[in-house]
Amino acid sequence: MFTESTIEYQFEREKRRVCAYDREKLVGVCLVEDAGVFLAIRHINVDASYDPREIVPGLLRYLYCHALERRIKIDNLSFVPLR
């Protein structure tokens, strides 16, 4: 887990996601598929009351660090804006 301002990021393996928390409140989620040799990003969502330009980079940075520790790759880095 690491912290940027009041936002804390953590990987929740059992739920297959990287989460951003503002204290106790879940404010961002990056759902991933763990294929053993790579992680595939399936969906990213940020609470509407938060700026995604602040939350999404932290989610991706945390996922990247997690992948580096496990020595695996990240696949599917294409994004569709959510409305």
pLDDT in tens, 4-54: 578 999 999 899 999 999 999 999 999 998 777 778 888 899 999 999 999
Mean pLDDT over 65-83 rounds to: 71
Q: 33: Cβ–Cβ under 8 A, 6 or more apart, which residues?
A: 16, 39, 40, 42
| CATH top-level class of 2-75 | alpha beta
User: Residue 8 and residue 6: Cα distance in Å, rounded?
Assistant: 7
**Could you tell me the pTM of the whole model?**
0.79
Query: Which pLDDT score, from 0 to 100, does residue 83 have?
Result: 44
Radius of gyration of the chain (CA): 12
17 neighbors 28 (Cβ within 8 angstroms): no
**Per-residue confidence at 77, pLDDT binned at 50, 70, 90?**
low
User: Residue 1 and residue 62: Cα distance in Å, rounded?
Assistant: 8
